[in-house]
């Protein structure tokens, strides 16, 4: 009504003369209607313009929301791809929803072909299938250890995984399945075994001389005045066992120092001629070699040099020569050598001794590992010599190896990378 009022109130003198004369009031009404239509059209145009602007804003907001969702999805996928743990999601029907690259490699699956299929068809490991089924039947977080076959990277031993299962929910907190995470704890389990073995073996090695010392001391207390000759014999037992105990402690401390200095990069490496290293080691073993009528031969080019820690490398070669003399027959020879082989410099100690059975070779460089415990103790070994050799090689960025067979002698090698030469 307000618009009509505006249209009807237009004065007649505002109209063209002819229209005012010929049409009079009708012209006024026509002009009012025309004005009303113009106003309605203008309002419609404004409304449409505002509606279009609102739609554009809505589209932009939707586009921003979509981009945020895509960005979050990409971040999540990148995080899953970079995880070393295997992660897989299973729906309430036991069908695979998704899995990351680590899980696909671990379970030997191809994601595009595996998604949507039942895990009972995809996973061959009975323990893992049972664990997934248990996870789907509970609202609690569950854990267990899963053993999987070995692969090329882990060697011949089975791989151990710590599996964790938890509830998988959607945005409305409704359960849609389970999330399974597989942590590779193979190395940790092996370290636990090594630690237990070390504690057991170290305790046994230390207990043996302590028991002998205690027994000899008690005997002395009871009969020291009755038999001076026996007393001297028991005193020698105490001295010998005390020396053995001291040797064990010294080797343990030496091993700890080498490991600690290697970890903190405190090992100083300097250019040295390897012939000199072998000669110094041979001289350190000369007295024992004379007692066994054993010759120590050195084969090394005079100009062959490497960047090494000479005292440590000499200690490693001494340990190898000492073992070679101990386990070789009297009158034999021990050959030491150093040469460049491809990308490595190899120091070797070869003997003609009793040799080592194949089943012992993988563990021969472990702490306190002995192939013949009784003979080793009789010869005065601590069980730590080869472990020290291994860690000295590691300190030089290298490794150790051994070739041996029963009654055919042994060849122990220290490999140093050529970039240290």
Instruction: Report whether pLDDT(170) > 80.
Output: yes
Tokens of 140: 């609690």
DSSP conformational letter for 118: B
Mean pLDDT of the region 330-336: 92
The angle subtended at Cα 14 by Cα 13 and Cα 17, nearest 5°, is 60
Q: Per-residue pLDDT tens for 192-202?
A: 877 777 777 77
User: CATH homologous superfamily of domain 83-184?
Assistant: PAS domain (3.30.450.20)
**Cα(151)–Cα(342) distance, integer angstroms:** 28
- What is the distance of C-alpha 326 from the center of its chain? 38
In the chain, pLDDT over 90 holds for what percent of residues? 32
Concatenate the DSSP letters of all residues of 52-95 into one string.
Answer: HHHHHHHHHHHHHHHHHHHHHHHHHHHHHHH-SSEEEEEETTSB
**Check whether domain 267-421 has CATH 3.30.70.870, yes or no:** no
pLDDT in tens, 364-396: 898 888 776 555 555 556 788 899 999 999 999
Helical segments of 83-141, H only: 101-106, 111-114, 119-122, 126-136
Backbone angles phi, psi at 176, to 5 degrees: -120, 0
Burial class of residue 381 (count of CB atoms within 10 Å of its CB; 0-12, 13-18, 19+): buried
pLDDT digits 0-9 by tens, 225-247 = 677 777 788 888 888 888 878 87
pTM of the model: 0.58
Domain spanning 190-260 has what CATH number?
1.10.287.130
Query: Is residue 9 very low, low, confident or very high in pLDDT (cuts 50, 70, 90)?
Result: very low
Give first-to-last CA distance, the chain, whole Å. Answer: 103
Distance, CA of 18 to CA of 325 (rounded, Å): 138
Q: Output the pLDDT for position 165.
A: 93
- For residue 279, what is the DSSP state? H
Q: pLDDT of 99-116, one tens digit each?
A: 888 888 888 888 888 889
Spatial distance between the Cα atoms of 367 and 255, rounded to a whole number of angstroms: 10
The first and second tokens of residue 33, run together, are 């209607």
Distances (CA, A) of 410 to 91, 192, 214, 363: 58, 30, 37, 15
Checking if the pLDDT of 307 tops 80, the result is yes
């Amino acid at each position: 009504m307000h618009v009509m009022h505006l249209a009807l109130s237009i004065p007649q003198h505002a109209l063209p003369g002819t229209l005012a004369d010929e049409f009079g009031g009708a012209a006024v009404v026509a002009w009012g209607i025309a004005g009303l239509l113009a106003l309605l059209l203008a309002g419609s145009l404004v409304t449409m313009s505002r509606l279009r602007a609102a739609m554009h804003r809505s589209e932009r907001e939707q586009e921003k929301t979509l981009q945020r969702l895509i960005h979050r999805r990409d971040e999540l996928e990148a995080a899953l791809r970079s995880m070393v743990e295997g992660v897989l999601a299973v729906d309430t029907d036991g069908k695979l929803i998704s899995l990351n690259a680590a899980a696909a490699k671990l379970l030997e699956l191809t994601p595009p072909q595996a998604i949507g299929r039942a895990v009972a068809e995809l996973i061959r490991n009975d323990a893992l299938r049972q664990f997934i089924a248990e996870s789907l039947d509970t609202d609690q977080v569950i854990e267990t250890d899963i053993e999987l076959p070995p692969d090329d990277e882990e060697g011949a031993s089975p791989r151990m995984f710590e599996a964790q299962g938890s509830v998988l929910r959607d945005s409305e907190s409704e359960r849609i399945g389970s999330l399974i995470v597989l942590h590779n704890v193979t190395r940790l389990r092996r370290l636990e075994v090594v630690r237990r073995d070390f504690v057991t073996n170290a305790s046994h090695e230390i207990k043996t001389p302590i028991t002998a010392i205690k027994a000899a001391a008690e005997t002395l207390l009871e009969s020291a005045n009755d038999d001076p000759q026996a007393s001297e014999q028991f005193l020698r037992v105490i001295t010998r066992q005390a020396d053995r105990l001291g040797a064990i402690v010294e080797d343990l401390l030496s091993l700890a120092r080498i490991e600690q200095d290697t970890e903190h990069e405190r090992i100083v490496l300097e250019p040295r001629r390897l012939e000199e290293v072998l000669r110094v080691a041979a001289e350190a073993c000369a007295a024992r070699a004379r007692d066994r009528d054993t010759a120590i031969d050195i084969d090394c080019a005079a100009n062959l040099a490497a960047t090494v820690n000479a005292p440590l490398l000499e200690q490693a070669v001494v340990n190898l020569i000492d073992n070679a003399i101990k386990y070789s027959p009297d009158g034999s020879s021990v050959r030491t050598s150093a040469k460049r082989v491809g990308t490595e410099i190899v120091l070797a100690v070869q003997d003609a001794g009793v040799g080592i059975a194949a089943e012992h070779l993988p563990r021969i460089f472990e702490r306190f590992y002995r192939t013949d415990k009784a003979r080793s103790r009789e010869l005065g070994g601590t069980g730590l010599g080869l472990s020290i050799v291994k860690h000295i090689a590691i300190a030089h960025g290298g490794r150790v190896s051994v070739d041996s067979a029963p009654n055919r002698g042994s060849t122990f090698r220290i490999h140093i990378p050529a970039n240290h030469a």
